[in-house]
Structure 1
Amino acid sequence: MKFTTVAVLACVGSASAFVPHALPAARMSARTTTMSAESPASRGDFLKSAAGAAALLGLAAPALAEVDNPVVPFLGGGDKIDVNNANVRAYIKLQGMYPSAAGKIVSNGPYSSVSEIYSIKGLSNEEKAAIKKHESRFITMDPQAMYTIDRINNGLYR
């Protein structure tokens, strides 16, 4: 279920808990008192109005939804990899990159350009060749804490 569907159901369900159940007229007059000259609204009327309000909220919800972070497509699920935010496992499918070159890339940085990767201390000639082979797949975006915090060890183990 989508979030908006769940939200609508939760609103209607919780609102219906506060509406008095329909009672026979004889029992209702003995158990309830009204503060106005009008007859009390029925449970059905209240549910209709609550459902209408929830529907309006559901229509407005997409406009209030947070747009995905622009970094997400470049964390390893697509053709391009952001060297400032992707974790070490993003390089696993790139031949010659994982784990040594990938570990050095994520352990250093941030990088303002992809060419800065070649200045990492301790990078072997084989690792530089692997990086050069896949360099067209790398991009640099602004580092974001929510992604850089687990770049080395993201808790995924074989």
Structure 2
Amino acid sequence: MASSLAAENTDRRAFLNAALATSAAVVAASPAGAIRDYEAIGYLGGSDKVDLNNANVRVYLKMPGMYPAVAGKIVSHGPYASVGDVYKIDGLTGGEKEVLKKYESRFVVTAPSPDYVIDRINNGL
């Protein structure tokens, strides 16, 4: 009986190892969802310009006064057809509009990309 139990455990262990190896190979082969050569990648935090439609909320940390309140309102609304549309956000205070005006020259608007819009509020960091 002991040898039968040992053989059963060995078979189970071999099966689980094979299943784990197969699932690891499938996961490792999955392609990333983001566009590799996204033409506006610099506007997502890698330059002085920020895309109002696609940039993550943390990009606004580079602009004192923007994060978290104004940045949160920007990423929670939209999409924006022009930079001026950002002033149409309901509930903006006078002070928040002044902060937006201060950085307005650094804002750009590109078409919303589903690969980046999904991470605008929480990118997992």
The TM-score, its normalising length taken from structure 1, stands at: 0.56
1:125 to 62, 70, 94: 94
Structure 1 segments unaligned to the other structure (5+ residues): 1-65
**Deviation string for 1:8-55 (max 9, x for gaps)?**
xxxxxxxxxxxxxxxxxxxxxxxxxxxxxxxxxxxxxxxxxxxxxxxx
> Counterparts of 1:139 and 1:117 in 2: how far apart (Å)?
11
Structure 1 segments (4+ residues) deviating >2 Å = none
Residue 95 of structure 1: how far off its partner (Å): 1.2
* Cα drift, residue 67 of structure 1: 6.4
RMSD between superposed Cα atoms in Å: 1.2
Structure 1 counterpart of 2:108, from 139, 142, 149? 139
Task: Give the corresponding residue for 1:62.
Answer: none
1:152 counterpart residue number: 121
**% identity of equivalent residues:** 57
2:59 pairs with 1:90: yes
The corresponding residue for 1:99 is: 68
Partner of 1:76: 45
**What does the per-residue CA deviation read over 1:98-126, in whole Å, with 9 as the maximum and x for residues that have no partner?**
00000000000000000000010011111
Could you tell me which runs of 5 or more consecutive residues in structure 2 were left unpaired when the two chains were aligned.
1-34
Aligned to 1:52: none
- Higher-Rg structure is 1
Counterpart of 1:63 in structure 2 is none
- 1:127 maps to a residue whose letter is E
